Structure 1
Amino acid sequence: MVRFEDLALFVRTAACGSFTKAAREANLLPGQVSAAIMRLERDLEIRLFARSTRSLRLTDEGERYLPFARDALALLHSGRDELRRSDDTLSGTLQLAAPSDLGRNVLLPWLTAFRRQHPKLELRVQFSDQVTDVFRDPVDIAIRYGQVDDASYVALPIAPDNRRVLVASPGYLEQCGAPQALDELPRHSCLLWHMQGRLYDKWGFPAGKSRRTVQVKGPLASDDADIVRRWAIDGEGIAYKSWLDVSNDVRAGRLVVVLPEQPGEPAPLQLICPHRKQFSPAVRQLHALLQEKCAGLGTPAAAPDAA
């Protein structure tokens, strides 16, 4: 008979790609995880992983079995949470992932307050600019920028009208001057973001029914969007950021919107779920809270004028 714990360790190992990493996350020894996988393989009479001294990967049978294992775990968790839940009390565990800058500087206090309102609810958060795979990674939901066109996901809008804006510190603009047109951006120090070897140094802007791309450059780049925002506050250059990420800084005067008349690229914020079965009461209430809070931050059109 397949054990619930073995099934959970199989899903975790598939997400981590390593017995050692899975063991660390589960607070177990690697040998215990390996034994659980071998036991599951014996119960199923299939080989789930192809092992070598340097790599661990799912076999074809393991790839086919993985979505059924995830669905089975989700169903069991839903049943457990339903037994624990009363009409006015949220309980169980909610695992979510969000972008680094948004998560640390905007969502964190909201999530903390949400958890305080529901003391029987446990939150597990991951703040990273790596795109979370809600099917493979150990999360229930993901907060993600951008339009979701993949029909395999379920997306709930949080801030559908959010856009990117050009921002810089008052000190930088005083020293280097504010650009008066997009054509002047290449002459400025622009703060860049990179991910998995790709440098995002082509900034796109709506131009009527088309899109205009501006090639920019600068001496500073990071794979952490929060660091880009901090560099902008410190006067190191111009950043192209989501309004949600920088709205508090603009209101506080730490940053100024550059070229406020120039609309930025749409950056809608979504709540992503693998399927509707994971729309638990906690997810629904959190979604409603995030919608309300993000609406309170306004839109780029309401930003103060550039200096």
Structure 2
Amino acid sequence: MKQNYTVRHGALEGVEVFLAVARHRNFRRAAADLDVTPSAVSQAIRALEARLGAALFVRTTRSVGLTEAGQKFLDRAGPAFEELVAAGEAARDVGQRPTGLLRLSVPRAVVPLILEPVIASFCQAYPEVELEIAASDQMVDLATGGFDAGIRLGQFIAADMVAVRLTPPFSFVVVGSPDYLERRGCPEKVDDLRHHACLRLRRSNGAIAPWFFMDGNGTVEASVSGPLIAHDYPTLLGAAMKGIGLAQTPRPIAEAAMAEGKLTPVLDDVAASTPGVFLYHPGKRQVLPKLRAFIDHFKSLA
């Protein structure tokens, strides 16, 4: 059972006024500094002293001095108040201009494909932003993980996230080295894969990712097996280039190797497609300038 409680109000009320009077040793000069009336300063000090239960100033017609309690309060409250002011300015900076730590959760395969061309130019353009790339294929909770945003394939992003497109839609292509295809032959239909060495991907949840293909307006899952299971696409691609077997990877990851003749696409007519890669974030509050700067910078290079 919850206990009744009250929230403390006004813990900092009068502190700024106290510090101004302690600095000037004069109520009128403190009032001028704060742009308020001397009576307002006197009322604020009386209220603070009443709340603390101790006199903070010794007042005469000619001077204002600190009591012992006032000196102790000044020794502790002065630095603490300066820290609060500095904290407010730091938070204001983050909210008004690109600065601070920008943490992104990104699949390993996306780093060389999408981020490497962007990282150097972004860091040069925004030197006050510290960019941290957490490369992992594990789906993470952005809030609990302390991330500003994540990057994932569109089909894996929750519906309550704000998604920003980074790439056009693309297909998942099955590729093999010319040497492998010469030795084992080129599959002409999905069922032919049962007789091929198929390199597979193990997802972060422990499951082995199935191979998917288009079947009319839908997709069909193919049952495949082979000599190698890896945890990332670059490893699968490297194994395929060495002739170990066929690999199914996002087309943009394999494009360079296909252009160089190191890999040959097969079953292209039934290749399954994906909506593309998106940056996503909760978006429940205004997007901080550091994240907005990254999004705009990425789009400017696309």
Confirm or deny a common fold (TM above 0.5): yes
SS state at 1:230 partner: helix
- Given that residues 215 and 270 in structure 2 are in contact (C-alpha distance below 8 angstroms), is that contact kept between their aligned partners in structure 1? no
Q: Could you tell me which amino acid in structure 2 is paired with residue 80 of structure 1?
A: D
Matched, 1:215 2:209: no
Alignment correspondent of 1:264: 272
Q: How does 1:35-46 map to 2 (within 5 A)?
A: none
Q: CA deviation at 1:276?
A: 4.8
- Size of the aligned set, in residue pairs, is 216
Q: CA deviation at 1:126?
A: 0.9
Distance 1:121 1:238, change over 3 A: same
Distance 1:208 1:189, change over 3 A: same
Q: Could you tell me which amino acid in structure 2 is paired with residue 135 of structure 1?
A: A
- Given that residues 192 and 221 in structure 1 are in contact (C-alpha distance below 8 angstroms), is that contact kept between their aligned partners in structure 2? yes
Matched, 1:279 2:287: yes
SS state at 2:103 partner: strand
Alignment correspondent of 1:239: 247
Alignment correspondent of 2:206: 197
- Given that residues 106 and 151 in structure 2 are in contact (C-alpha distance below 8 angstroms), is that contact kept between their aligned partners in structure 1? yes
SS state at 2:235 partner: helix
Alignment correspondent of 2:106: 98
- Given that residues 100 and 224 in structure 1 are in contact (C-alpha distance below 8 angstroms), is that contact kept between their aligned partners in structure 2? yes
- Given that residues 169 and 273 in structure 2 are in contact (C-alpha distance below 8 angstroms), is that contact kept between their aligned partners in structure 1? no
Alignment correspondent of 1:130: 138
Distance in 2, Cα, partners of 1:289 & 1:250: 29
- Given that residues 102 and 290 in structure 2 are in contact (C-alpha distance below 8 angstroms), is that contact kept between their aligned partners in structure 1? yes
Q: CA deviation at 1:203?
A: 1.5
Distance in 2, Cα, partners of 1:108 & 1:215: 34
Q: CA deviation at 1:132?
A: 2.2
Distance in 1, Cα, partners of 2:95 & 2:218: 49
Q: CA deviation at 1:157?
A: 1.8
Q: CA deviation at 1:249?
A: 2.3
Distance in 2, Cα, partners of 1:278 & 1:249: 41
Alignment correspondent of 1:113: 121
- Given that residues 168 and 277 in structure 2 are in contact (C-alpha distance below 8 angstroms), is that contact kept between their aligned partners in structure 1? yes
| Structure 1 stretches lacking a partner, 5+ long | 2-74, 296-307
Distance 1:129 1:178, change over 3 A: same
- Given that residues 153 and 273 in structure 1 are in contact (C-alpha distance below 8 angstroms), is that contact kept between their aligned partners in structure 2? yes
TM-score by length of 1: 0.62
Q: What is the CA deviation profile of residues 183-228 of structure 1, one whole-angstrom value per residue up to 9, with x for unaligned ones?
A: 211211111011333122x312121123222111111002233212
Q: What is the CA deviation profile of residues 130-163 of structure 1, one whole-angstrom value per residue up to 9, with x for unaligned ones?
A: 1122121121111101325633321112224122
What's the % identity of the aligned pairs? 28
- Given that residues 95 and 289 in structure 2 are in contact (C-alpha distance below 8 angstroms), is that contact kept between their aligned partners in structure 1? no
Q: How does 1:50-65 map to 2 (within 5 A)?
A: none
Q: What is the CA deviation profile of residues 100-151 of structure 1, one whole-angstrom value per residue up to 9, with x for unaligned ones?
A: 1221454223222321232222110111111122121121111101325633
Higher Cα radius of gyration: 2
| Structure 2 stretches lacking a partner, 5+ long | 1-6, 8-87
TM-score by length of 2: 0.63
Alignment correspondent of 2:94: 81
- Given that residues 94 and 289 in structure 2 are in contact (C-alpha distance below 8 angstroms), is that contact kept between their aligned partners in structure 1? no
Distance in 2, Cα, partners of 1:107 & 1:215: 33
> Superposition RMSD on alpha carbons, in Å?
2.8
Q: CA deviation at 1:237?
A: 1.1
Distance 1:254 1:283, change over 3 A: farther
SS state at 2:292 partner: helix
Distance 1:80 1:288, change over 3 A: closer
Distance in 1, Cα, partners of 2:124 & 2:180: 40
Distance 1:290 1:276, change over 3 A: farther
